[in-house]
Amino acid sequence: MIYLIYLFCLPDQESTMPPRPLIGITSDLFERSEGKWSAAVALPYCENIAKAGGIPLILPPIPDSVADHAIACDAFIFTGGNDPDTRQWGIPMHPLAKPLHPQRQAYETRLLELLRTQHGQVPVLGICLGMQMMCLDAGGKLDQHLGDSLPTADTHRNSHHAIMPILSLDQGCPAWLASGGLAASNHHQGIADPGRTMTVLAKSDDGIIEAVVDRSRPYYYGVQWHPERTADSRLGLDVFRSLIGAARPR
């Protein structure tokens, strides 16, 4: 007599879950000691991506690796940092500007260009400096020192202030922005002209451009505040959830 034994295996619960998207995060360069440099990023960026359901991946600013990074990641966050060196766009730098490390600027400029020309479907979120770089890539211009013309400029340095959407949900304002609120802010430069492809979504209560979008792309948002440091979940964690929701593992 022959007995046939069938083994039924329950599917692995983890294997039935959709893969989490890989989110590339631009990093800064720090000189630990003379001639010894490190690439690093503020931990709250990574923590918020993980809470929102993504896998954070810190990208070292190596210009020759841009093409590989553009293919490897499912979405990108361009983080905050020092000031863009506007001489790259033929504009003199303000005396109070603190320029980015040139290697970081070269890397991010090249990555933005490649995402625009070859990978336009990949979701991108720019934060503070990141939004400014997105607008420069779109042909925009910066106000290089808000203190020259804005009496309330100090409210944008290491403080919280109101974010006010200028479009409604029906007009295409994203849900995380539609109610406005208080957001953490730390910058002395702002957007004077968002560029040819960017639409302004929100401003501060003193008129600074706070959020932009390129409607020709599936997901391409910039915010001037720091959602990774904002307590209000709508303008904080929900911004990251929005990016993760738009990302699809490739």
What is the predicted pLDDT for the residue at 133?
98
Average pLDDT, the chain: 92
Q: What percent of the chain has pLDDT over 90?
A: 84
What is the predicted pLDDT for the residue at 54?
97
* CB neighbourhood size of 97 (10 A): 18
Written as one letter, the residue type at 135 is: C
What is the predicted pLDDT for the residue at 12?
53
Strands (E), the chain: 22-26, 28-33, 36-40, 55-59, 75-78, 124-127, 141-143, 159-165, 181-185, 190-193, 199-204, 209-213, 220-223
**What is the mean pLDDT of the segment spanning 225-236?**
97
3-state secondary structure of 216: coil
Six-digit token string for 181 = 């609120």
- Residue 6 pLDDT level (bands cut at 50, 70, 90): very low
Domains located in the chain, CATH noted: 19-246 (3.40.50.880)
- Residue 15 pLDDT level (bands cut at 50, 70, 90): low
Asked whether the whole model's pTM tops 0.85, one would answer yes
Q: What is the pLDDT of residues 141-167, one digit of tens each?
A: 999 999 998 999 988 998 999 999 999
